Structure 1
Amino acid sequence: MADASRGERKEGRKPQRPRVMADTTQAIASDIFSGRYRPGDFLPTENDLGVEYGVSRTVIREALKVLAAKGLVSSRPRVGTVVCDEDNWNIIDAQVLAWHAAHALDDRLFDAILETRRAIEPLVAERAATRATLREIADLQAAWEGMANAGDDIATFSRSDIAFHQVLYRASHNPIFRQIGGMIDTALKFALEATNAVSTDRRAEAVKAHQEVVEALRLRDGEAARKAADHILDLAARDLVSAKQLNKQDKAR
């Protein structure tokens, strides 16, 4: 009976610790991204962090392990935990991007995402034009229709835009491109959600440019697909400038 009681008490406990640890990890990351703790700064001791965030030293230690695995901090025995240089941050990690998104738009990050896309996507589109299956072309068409029919619903427009690029990378049938696409997938979502928050007229231009890619794949025209992808990226570069300006206005308020 005693064992059963202990089992019931154990089963009745609420699994709060994982959530507490996740919240604490995000809170420390948030303080790093906001500039409270800058690269090269030493974080307070585990005891002091525990007091500050209202959690145990064990939770702090586990949170720091997560941040270290993502390149945000580095622990030095008998010295302390230091914030790593930004170049070491695993910025395309889904969690890191989610934590980062809560703060101001990072110009370097968005410029890097766009630069990566410019280096890859035109060739991806060119290869997809000759390799895509009929099913993949149909999926690309469906994603484009989602963008075209989204109207003022930015969330729906962004989801469809993201799906479009996911299909395009897959349709290249190049395993390296597909893996690269998977690596930058979260970063791409982050960028598209920011740049899609522009005027309806500009989204209409993006819809037309994406339609050009669909048509190029349907005609199996690699050169046209590459040009259409370049057109999409030119529009993305323009909208990125607008997104940066909006961000500066938000900061000034």
Structure 2
Amino acid sequence: METPKVPTKRNLYGQVLDDLGCRIMAGEVQPGDPLPQESTLCDQLGVSRTVVREAIKSLAAKGLVESRAKRGTIVCPRGSWNYLDSDVLGWQATAHVDGRHLFHLMELRRTVEPAAARIAAERATDEKRRLITEAYEAMVETAEDVDHFLASDIRFHVEILHATENPFFSPIANVISTSLESSLRLTNRQPDQNRTSLPAHQKVMNAICAGKPARAEAAMRSLLHEAADRIDVALS
């Protein structure tokens, strides 16, 4: 018989952080309102003050809360939230079950990724082109496996961002990863749906590897247009 695993301090901290982050994203605590007092959170969540304080410190670093004299820990205005943070994106996806977050994520992707594809076609080194090609080939090889295909698809888009050689595109990788994970789990539940998206990805890859900026931008725009259409159909 296996010995039951005892929750570690890190596990408890992560659970409390996720719990509070999801509460805020779901609107259970509105901007300007205080979180429950530490003692209340300790009782509710069954953890120590130290764990609660560490979780609140992380929420503050992500722009979600701040401490105010005589008022405690207050939820910040939404404009202060770091929406590019991977945890914040995950909490959004969990809280917004109506798919609203997917619309916003796709809107950002359709603004950024075509430009990134154009720049990648202009600047990508041979090594970067090889990595993009490897990611596409992994998509082809894993088309029958939804989870492995998802990982390969994410890698494809992230490698294109890296191929721009512009470090300011790197934070967008969190958006791409979360958006793809949420949208593909909604739209690509069967292997044949994975295979359908391969030609559009191949066009993007070919244009970047051939050093054709305008063609790469147009191919990425078309790819994302098709993805947005599939999301709309799935949500409706």
- So what's the TM-score if we normalise by structure 2? 0.84
Looking at structure 2, the residues matched to 224 and 15 of structure 1 have their Cα atoms a distance apart, in angstroms, of 52
- Check the 8 A contact 2:143/2:194 in 1, yes or no: no
Aligned with 1:152: secondary structure? coil
Say what the alpha-carbon RMSD is for the aligned residues. Answer: 2.4
Looking at structure 1, the residues matched to 214 and 13 of structure 2 have their Cα atoms a distance apart, in angstroms, of 50
| Unaligned ranges ≥5, structure 2 | 1-5
Whether 2:213 is the aligned partner of 1:222: answer yes
Looking at structure 2, the residues matched to 127 and 184 of structure 1 have their Cα atoms a distance apart, in angstroms, of 15
Looking at structure 1, the residues matched to 160 and 68 of structure 2 have their Cα atoms a distance apart, in angstroms, of 44
- Check the 8 A contact 1:195/1:243 in 2, yes or no: no
Q: Give the one of 176, 185, 188 matched to 2:176.
A: 188
In structure 1, the residue matched to 2:88 is 96
Looking at structure 1, the residues matched to 67 and 234 of structure 2 have their Cα atoms a distance apart, in angstroms, of 36
Q: CA deviation at 1:228?
A: 0.5
Looking at structure 2, the residues matched to 158 and 235 of structure 1 have their Cα atoms a distance apart, in angstroms, of 17
- Check the 8 A contact 1:21/1:62 in 2, yes or no: yes
Q: CA deviation at 1:238?
A: 1.1
- Check the 8 A contact 1:194/1:243 in 2, yes or no: no
Aligned identity (percent) is 35
Q: CA deviation at 1:69?
A: 1.6
Q: CA deviation at 1:126?
A: 1.8
| Residues 40-79 of structure 1 aligned to structure 2 (within 5 Å) | 40-79=32-71
With over 3 angstroms needed to count, the CA separation of the structure-2 counterparts of 1:148 and 1:28, relative to structure 1, is: same
Q: CA deviation at 1:234?
A: 0.5
The one-letter amino acid of 1:179's match is F
Looking at structure 2, the residues matched to 226 and 169 of structure 1 have their Cα atoms a distance apart, in angstroms, of 13
Looking at structure 1, the residues matched to 181 and 42 of structure 2 have their Cα atoms a distance apart, in angstroms, of 35
Looking at structure 1, the residues matched to 206 and 143 of structure 2 have their Cα atoms a distance apart, in angstroms, of 22
Looking at structure 2, the residues matched to 28 and 15 of structure 1 have their Cα atoms a distance apart, in angstroms, of 18
In structure 1, the residue matched to 2:125 is 133
| Residues 1-253 of structure 1 aligned to structure 2 (within 5 Å) | 16-105=8-97, 107-173=99-165, 175=166, 178-180=167-169, 182-197=170-185, 198-199=187-188, 200-245=191-236
| 1:80-139, Cα deviation, whole Å (9 max, x unpaired) | 222223332212212222333433446443333222222222222122223222332222
- So what's the TM-score if we normalise by structure 1? 0.79
Moved over 6 A (4+): none
